[in-house]
Structure 1
Amino acid sequence: MSIRIATRAVIVQDQRLLLVNAFPGEQSDLWCAPGGGAEAGTSLPENLQREVYEETGLRIRVGPPCLVNEFHEPKSGFHQVEIFFRCTIVEGEICDSWQDPEAVVNRRRFVSAQEITGLRVKPDSLAHVAFARGMGYDPLETLVR
Structure 2
Amino acid sequence: MKTRSPRLATRAIIVEDRRLLLVNAYPGRRSDLWGAPGGGVEPGRSLPENLIREVHEECGLTVEVGPLALVNEFHDPKSGYHQVDLFFRCRVTGGRLDPDWADPAGIVHTCRFFAPADLAAIRLKPDSLPRVAFTPEAPVHYDPLEEIVP
1:105 to 2:108 alignment: yes
Unaligned runs of 5+ in 1: none
User: What letter is aligned with 1:47?
Assistant: N
RMSD: 0.6
2:118 corresponds in structure 1 to: 115
User: What is the percent sequence identity of the aligned residues?
Assistant: 58
- TM-score, with structure 1 as normaliser: 0.98
Deviation per CA, 1:8-49, whole angstroms, max 9, x where unpaired? 000000110000000001000000000000011000000000
| Higher mean C-alpha displacement, 135-144 vs 56-65 | 135-144
Aligned AA (1:40)? P
1:142 aligns with 2:139: no
Report SS of the residue matched to 1:46.
Answer: helix
Deviation at 1:118, TM superposition (A): 1.1
Partners of 2:60 and 2:111 in 1: how far apart?
A: 11
List, as ranges, runs of 4+ consecutive aligned residues in structure 1 with deviation greater than 6 Å. Answer: none
Give, in whole Å, the separation in 2 of the partners of 1:119 and 1:62: 26
Pick the aligned partner of 1:93 from 90, 96, 120.
Answer: 96
Deviation at 1:117, TM superposition (A): 1.4
How high is the TM-score relative to the length of structure 2?
0.95
Number of aligned residue pairs: 145
